Amino acid sequence: MKLGILCSGGKDSLFAAYKASKEHELVCVIAIKSRNPESYMFHIPNIDLVKLQAKAMDIPLVWWETDGIKEEELEDLKQAIEIAKKKYKIEGIVSGAIASNYQKTRVDNICDELKLKSIAPLWGVNEELYINELMKNFKVIIVGIAAEGLNKELLGTTIGITFLDRMRSLNVSPIGEGGEYESLVLECPLFNSKIKVEEFEIKMEDERTGHYIIKKAILT
């Protein structure tokens, strides 16, 4: 089946695509850039890096921008998926939904309306098994933090054993499902090249909330 990847640039959407690629053909990336930093549906930090990720996968990108108004932004998502269906003949969408009923239900509903399959390989996944497999196959960095006990020094670091031990010691979800942290994939089996960060800026809102903003990145 031909699938479009609903991609934020983070670990969940790309790991879900990686899992789906074992049985299906990935034919395009679909990315939504929201102007609302409090968007309920869409990942915000470094979303523009999805353009490089699509190039690394050597598949086309459907790019759409939205004002990010709750519920209304779903119409923008639907339009982007419709474009992908018409242009690339996709038969389904793969997303990185793990435990958020809000997101999964809305993607499922859009797919039903457009007569597409909604595929969520990570739905209900065991967190420990998932994160261990992720570490073996992906290079993922932390680009956002928003939890007690997390600090500026974590921004830009790679998800590895040290990071996981810290998350466990803080009793924080190791996969960040509650929004405790946000991630960006730099290397994975789907990529034909690696993403190298050349310039970045760290912005902190307070002691536990901040972002690693990538200003320049290249494929190597």
Domain boundary assignment for the chain: 2-119, 127-219
Tell me the torsion sign for CA atoms 173, 174, 176, 181: positive
115 Cβ neighbours under 8 A, 6+ residues apart: none
pLDDT in tens, the chain (220 residues): 999 999 999 999 999 999 999 999 999 999 998 776 655 455 566 899 999 999 999 999 999 888 756 667 788 899 999 999 999 999 999 999 998 888 899 999 999 999 999 999 999 999 889 999 999 999 999 999 988 888 899 999 999 988 888 888 888 888 887 788 999 999 999 999 999 999 999 999 888 899 999 999 999 9
Amino acid at 32: I
- pTM above 0.75? yes
- For the structural domain made of 2-119, what CATH number should be given? 3.40.50.620
CATH superfamily of 127-219: putative n-type atp pyrophosphatase, domain 2 (3.90.1490.10)
Q: Quick: pLDDT tens for 81-122.
A: 999 999 999 999 999 999 888 889 999 999 999 999 999 999
Q: What is the DSSP string of 115-164?
A: T-EEE-TTTT--HHHHHHHHHHH-EEEEEEEESTT--GGGTT-B-SHHHH
Domains 2-119 and 127-219 share a fold: no
Q: What is the pLDDT of residue 38?
A: 57
Instruction: Outline where 21-100 has alpha helix (H).
Output: 50-57, 73-88
How many alpha carbons fall within 13 Å on the CB side of residue 111?
Answer: 21
Q: How far is CA 176 from CA 19, 47, 183, 194, in A?
A: 19, 18, 9, 24
DSSP label of 188:
-
Please tell me the distance from the alpha carbon of residue 121 to that of residue 130, in angstroms, as a whole number.
11
